[in-house]
Each structure stands twice: as structure tokens, then as C-alpha cells.
Amino acid sequence: MAGSAPEIDLTASARLSARGYRLVQWTGVTPPEHLDDLAVLIGRMSTDAPTGDLAFEPQRWDAERVRERDAVAVRNGVRAAVTAAQATDGRLVAYTEASTCVVADGFSSQGDTLVALAHRGHRLGLWIKLANLELLLRAHPEVRAIDTFNADDNRWMVAINEQLGFRPLRRQTDWELGL
Ligand SMILES: CC(C)(COP(=O)(O)OP(=O)(O)OC[C@H]1O[C@@H](n2cnc3c(N)ncnc32)[C@H](O)[C@@H]1OP(=O)(O)O)[C@@H](O)C(=O)NCCC(=O)NCCS
């Protein structure tokens, strides 16, 4: 991500568009009270994120799988910063995750970001990503660079990343062989 700060106050405008929602943040493993909601959202990543012509099967996630995923991350020295958005009924409807790894100090990887279909169009994606970058830097002030990847046809995520100041670094082609 480029070092320059966005010129306008993106957080204020995103928060305004997303009024009525509340942020929930944590680092490390998922708090038990959020496991079920997060599992639903993680499962939607496999169906909702555009992947060009590649065919991915829908993934099934539940609280136990999220717990296992978190435990594997801890064992591998991967530390997560997560920001989620809560609707007025208390359910999580959006989340974003960035991670650092003990073997790669100063570097962070932006992982999943998803807003549940019924809640899109309120700039929740931008708001949670901005808030998560702040959380990440509070938890890991040593971070100097963050990378991510997007499918070319994911113009919604690409637009958010461009607003945040991410710049293209390299292109990758994924190949698929049907067996
Ligand atoms: C990327 C994403 C988080 C953006 O959601 P968001 O924060 O609600 O998006 P915005 O509020 O910035 O939306 C801007 C406009 O694009 C529309 N939009 C956003 N995502 C859209 C999508 N996937 N398909 C169609 N339209 C979409 C919104 O409805 C809104 O339209 P409007 O201006 O007419 O109201 C969301 O599209 C998403 O969850 N996608 C699936 C998961 C994904 O692709 N993650 C990234 C993988 S790298």
C-alpha cells in the first residue's frame, strides 16, 4: 500500500453512509459470541467473491471450523486483526481480516472482506477496512506494508482498495483443469 494518506476524510464519510451499524473489533482468535455469525460470512466468501471464469465450490463453514482455523493460525504464528459490522439486531453482517506473521515482521496481508448482500451499498466495506487498518497498526505498529489481491472483475473491491491507496504491484493468472 502506498504511504500517502487519503486526501479526504474517508472514515467520516464512510461512517455517515453506514450509520445505524456498529463496529466490533478483535485481534487473535474469534470471540465465542461471534463464531456463528462469522462462519456464515466466511462461507459467503466462496460464493460471493467474483473469480472470473474459475469455478469454486461453495464452502461450508460453522463455528467449529472457524475455531479450528483460528487454532491453526495461532500455531503458525499468524496473528489476525478483524473488524466486523453489526446491524441493529446485533448480527454481524460484514467483516474484514488482516494478518501478520511472526516470521514476516513489518508486513501484513489483507485477507477476506465481505458485506452480506442485504447490507451492501452503505460503504460498510470501506468503513470496516479503514477501521481495521487502524486496529492493525495499534496492535502491530511495526507494520510498514500491506498487500492484497483482487479478481479483475471485482470492481467493487478494487474501487475500495484504490480509495484506500493500494496500488497494483503484479498480475497473476490462475489456471483451472477440470478432472
Ligand atoms: C466488495 C464489497 C465488500 C463491497 O460492498 P459495500 O461496501 O457494500 O459496497 P459499496 O457500499 O461501496 O457499494 C457501492 C455500490 O456498488 C454496489 N455493490 C457493491 N458490491 C456489489 C456487488 N458485489 N455486486 C453488485 N453491486 C455491488 C452497491 O450496491 C452500491 O450501489 P449504489 O451506489 O447504487 O447504492 C461487496 O461487494 C462484497 O461483499 N462482495 C463479495 C465479497 C468480495 O468480493 N470480497 C472481496 C474479495 S477480494
Question: What's the angle, vertex CA 77, arms to CA 95 and CA 32, rounded to 5?
Answer: 45
Ligand 1 neighbour 124 (Cβ under 6 A): yes
Split into its structural domains, the chain has a count of 1
pLDDT at 21: 98
Q: Tell me which residue of 100, 109, 108, 104 sits closest to 78, measured CA to CA.
A: 100
The residue type at 151? A
The residues pairing with 22 across neighbouring beta strands, listed in sequence order, are 86
pLDDT at 76: 96
DSSP state of 86: E
Ligand 1 neighbour 114 (Cβ under 6 A): yes
Residue 125 CA, closest ligand 1 atom number? 7
Say which CATH number the domain at 90 has: 3.40.630.30
pLDDT at 25: 98
Position 3 in a domain:
no
Residue 140 C-alpha to ligand 1 middle, in angstroms?
28
Residue 69, Cβ density class (10 Å: 0-12 exposed, 13-18 middle, ≥19 buried)? middle
pLDDT at 2: 46
Position 179 in a domain:
no
Query: pLDDT truncated to tens, each residue of the chain (179 aa)?
Result: 544 555 569 999 999 999 999 999 999 999 999 999 999 999 999 999 999 889 889 999 999 999 999 999 999 999 999 999 999 999 999 999 999 998 888 999 999 999 999 999 999 999 999 999 999 999 999 999 999 999 999 999 999 999 999 999 999 999 999 88
- Which value, to the nearest 10 degrees, does the dihedral of the CA atoms of residues 121, 125, 128, 133 take? -150
pLDDT at 105: 82
Q: Which residue range forms the structural domain that includes residue 55?
A: 10-164
Whether residue 1 contacts residue 146, with contact meaning beta carbons closer than 8 Å, is answered with: yes
